[in-house]
A and B are shown apart, each in its own frame.
Chain A
Amino acid sequence: MRRWGQKNGDTRAKRAALYGMLVALAFLLSYIETLIPAFFWVPGMKLGLANLVIVMALYLFGWKGGLAISFIRVLLVAFSFTNLFSLYFSLAGAAASLLVMAGLKRGGGFGIIGVSLAGGTAHNIAQLCVAAALLGEGVLYYLPVLLAAGAVTGFCIGLACREILKRLPGMKSRD
C-alpha cells in the first residue's frame, strides 16, 4: 500500500511539514472544542474532535505517526488550556484509544468507522478508570453513558474520516 505523501519526492522535510500541519490542526480542534458548551449531562464528556486528526494520521502514516501526533497534541493542549492533573486523563485516554485503534486496524477486518468508534470507547473507558482511581469508584456510575457516547462520537468521527480520506489525492477508498 502506498501511503499519502510517499508518491514522489517524499523528503523528510515534506514529512515534517505534514506532521506539523496535522499537529496544528489537532491543536486547533482541541481549542474549538473548549468553546463548545456541548451536550453536557455527564462530567468530562466531549466530542473528541481532535480524534479526527489522530484517526487520519493513523491511516495516512501508520501507528507511529498517529502516536507522535497524538502525544504532541496532548502535551500542547495540557500546557495551554488545562493543568497537569488533566494531563493524566488525556494521556490515558489518548494511549488507550491509539492502542485499540492500531490493533483493530492491523488485524480484525474492521473498517475505519469501526476502528474509530472502538477508539472513542476505549478513550472514555480509560479516562473513567483514571477518574475511578483518583476520585473513588463512585464515578463508575457514568460508565454506561460514556460507553455509548464514546461509540457514537467515534462513529461520527470515523464517518467524517472516511469521507475526507476518499477525497484526498492518492488514497484508495477503504470503506
Chain B
Amino acid sequence: MKRKDIILLAGILLAAAILWGCFSLFFPGKQGGYAEIQVGSEIIERIPMSEPCRKIIAGTGGTNTLVIEGGIARIEEADCPDRLCVRQGGISKNGQSIICLPHQLVVRIVEEAEE
C-alpha cells in the first residue's frame, strides 16, 4: 500500500467525519413530527408521526405499505424488485428517510407540516 493511498483514505474519512459533525450540529436529530411522502417530485401527503397509522402508498409502478407506530415509520411490505425499503427498517428522527428507488418513493421525516 502506497503512502498516497493512506493519505487519500484518511482524507476521505476525515471529510466524512467533519461533514457528519456539521450536519448533526445544524440538524439535530429531534424526534420527527411528520412523515412526508413523496412520489416522483411530488409530495402527496404528510402524516403525523404521533398517531399509529397503516397506509398503502401507490408509487410509480407498484405499492408500498407504510406503517407508523410508536413514533417509528417503516415500510412493512412492498412489491418492488429489491425490497431495500423494507429491509432498511424504521426511521424516527428528523431528516431521516426511506427511499424506494424502483417506485420513486421517498418517505422523509420532517419537523413541521408546512405547505
Q: Is A9 part of the binding interface, using a Cβ–Cβ cutoff of 8 Å?
A: no
**Binary flags per residue of B68-110, CB closer than 8 Å to A gives 1, else 0:** 0000000000000110110111000001111101101010100
Contact of A85 among B9, B20, B101 (CB under 8 A): B101
Contact of B87 among A40, A113, A147, A150 (CB under 8 A): A40
Q: Is A51 part of the binding interface, using a Cβ–Cβ cutoff of 8 Å?
A: no
Inside 8 A of B108's CB, which chain A residues have their CB? 138
In the bound assembly, the distance between CA atoms of A148 and B21 in angstroms comes to: 13
Q: Closest residue of chain B to A133, judged by CB?
A: B41
Contact yes or no, A121 B84, CB < 8 A: no
Partner-binding segment picked from A53-61, A64-72, A103-111: A103-111
Inside 8 A of A144's CB, which chain B residues have their CB? 16-17, 19-20, 23
Inside 8 A of A43's CB, which chain B residues have their CB? 84-85, 88, 97-99, 101
**Distance (Å) between the CB of A40 and the closest chain B CB?**
6
Q: Is A82 part of the binding interface, using a Cβ–Cβ cutoff of 8 Å?
A: yes
Inside 8 A of A113's CB, which chain B residues have their CB? 1-2, 5, 9
In the bound assembly, the distance between CA atoms of A139 and B102 in angstroms comes to: 16
Inside 8 A of B44's CB, which chain A residues have their CB? none
Inside 8 A of B99's CB, which chain A residues have their CB? 43-44, 131, 135, 139
Given contacts A40-B88, A85-B101, A85-B102, contact A141 B82 (CB under 8 A): no
Contact yes or no, B88 A41, CB < 8 A: yes
Please give the number of chain A residues whose Cβ is less than 8 angstroms from any Cβ of chain B in the complex: 39
Q: Closest residue of chain B to A80, judged by CB?
A: B81
Inside 8 A of A169's CB, which chain B residues have their CB? none
Please give the number of chain B residues whose Cβ is less than 8 angstroms from any Cβ of chain A in the complex: 36
Inside 8 A of B98's CB, which chain A residues have their CB? 43
Q: Closest residue of chain B to A135, judged by CB?
A: B106
Q: Is B13 part of the binding interface, using a Cβ–Cβ cutoff of 8 Å?
A: yes
Inside 8 A of A108's CB, which chain B residues have their CB? 4
Inside 8 A of B97's CB, which chain A residues have their CB? 43, 138-139, 141
In the bound assembly, the distance between CA atoms of A29 and B13 in angstroms comes to: 26
Contact of B106 among A34, A37, A136, A145 (CB under 8 A): A136
Contact yes or no, A109 B20, CB < 8 A: no
With A110-B5, A141-B97, A151-B13 known, 5 other A-B pairs at CB within 8 A are A82-B101, A110-B4, A135-B99, A139-B99, A144-B20
Residues of A with Cβ closer than 8 Å to B? 34, 37, 40-41, 43-44, 81-83, 85-86, 89, 108-111, 113-114, 117-118, 121, 131, 134-136, 138-139, 141, 143-145, 147-148, 150-152, 155, 158, 175
Residues of B with Cβ closer than 8 Å to A? 1-2, 4-5, 8-9, 12-13, 15-17, 19-20, 23, 27, 38, 41, 60-61, 81-82, 84-85, 87-89, 95-99, 101-102, 104, 106, 108
